[in-house]
């Protein structure tokens, strides 16, 4: 499995975050996302950076692994920053040449957007996939959605589907890399030529990739049928989920973070993010 794919990877450990209840982890991730989007002020973004560093320390995951997980998003981050730099106008002009107009407000806004995206991806990955096994994540999601089962919604099947999709993302990426290396060994070129030519060069990759994905899906379905899998009916769990004091402490910390962000946005002077 490639180490630079954030989604679906679990890093075994015994940290504070690893021991949290997966049900609470899902709620914590949602709450953390809300707090991230509440941040508007420069000082509130500084507080978010400190919170992300605190999460990394709690998880005991190497910083190098966190940065590797951000590699697939480099294009999106750079593209978003460029849009904010060149399209956002302000009062302080830094560059005024021909059709290029760069303002200080645009640079600050681009920096804050980049910080938001990085913290959003890194924070949610630490709270969920990095410190939670796919099985625990499935159990937590199913338990959270269990009230919907009373109106006959397929809660268990939905949770299983989400977990399988999450788990197979790194596998498909690894399969794509193998196919590309095999095609390059046969003389294929994916880095030169026009955009149309590069798009056509991807066809020999997509066809075997789809075939491999369908074959894996069929093998998984056959294995589940051989093990008499019938969904959540009559299913028991080997590990029963229990809330502990750690979950309460984490909830209080996130609530305090959200309150601090709101108060900073209201009372602290500083540049406010332009939307």
What phi and psi, each to the nearest 5 degrees, are found at residue 154? -75, 75
pLDDT in tens, 175-229: 888 888 888 888 777 777 677 777 777 788 888 888 888 888 888 889 888 887 7
Residue 173 pLDDT? 80
Q: What is the pLDDT of residues 1-49, one digit of tens each?
A: 444 454 557 888 889 999 999 999 999 999 999 999 999 888 999 999 9
Position 3 scores a pLDDT of 44
Give this prediction's pTM: 0.78
User: Which stretches of the chain are DSSP H helices?
Assistant: 22-38, 42-59, 63-70, 74-87, 104-127, 134-144, 155-185, 195-201, 203-226, 245-267
- Of 166, 100, 113, 115, the closest CA to residue 136 belongs to 166
Please give the structure tokens belonging to residue 36.
């991230």
């Amino acid at each position: 499995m490639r180490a630079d794919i954030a989604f679906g990877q679990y890093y075994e450990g015994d940290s504070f975050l690893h021991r949290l209840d997966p049900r609470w982890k899902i709620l914590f991730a949602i709450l953390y996302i809300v707090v991230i989007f509440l941040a508007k002020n420069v000082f509130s973004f500084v507080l978010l950076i400190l919170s992300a560093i605190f999460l990394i320390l709690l998880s005991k995951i190497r910083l190098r692994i966190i940065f590797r997980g951000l590699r697939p998003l480099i294009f999106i981050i750079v593209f978003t920053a460029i849009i904010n730099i060149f399209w956002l106008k302000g009062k302080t002009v830094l560059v005024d040449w021909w059709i290029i107009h760069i303002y200080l407000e645009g640079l600050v806004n681009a920096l804050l957007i980049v910080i938001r995206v990085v913290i959003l991806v890194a924070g949610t990955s630490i709270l969920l996939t990095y410190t939670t096994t796919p099985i625990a994540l499935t159990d937590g999601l199913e338990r959270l959605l269990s009230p919907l089962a009373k109106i006959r919604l397929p809660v268990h099947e939905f949770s299983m589907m989400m977990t399988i999709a999450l788990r197979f993302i790194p596998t498909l990426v690894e399969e794509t890399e193998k196919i590309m290396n095999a095609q390059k060994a046969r003389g294929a070129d994916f880095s030169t030529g026009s955009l149309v030519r590069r798009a056509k060069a991807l066809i020999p990759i997509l066809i075997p990739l789809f075939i491999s994905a369908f074959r894996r899906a069929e093998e998984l379905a056959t294995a589940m049928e051989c093990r008499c899998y019938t969904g959540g009916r009559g299913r028991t769990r080997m590990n029963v989920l229990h809330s502990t004091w750690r979950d309460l402490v984490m909830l209080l910390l996130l609530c305090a973070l959200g309150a601090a962000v709101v108060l900073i946005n209201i009372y602290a002077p500083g540049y406010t993010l332009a939307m």
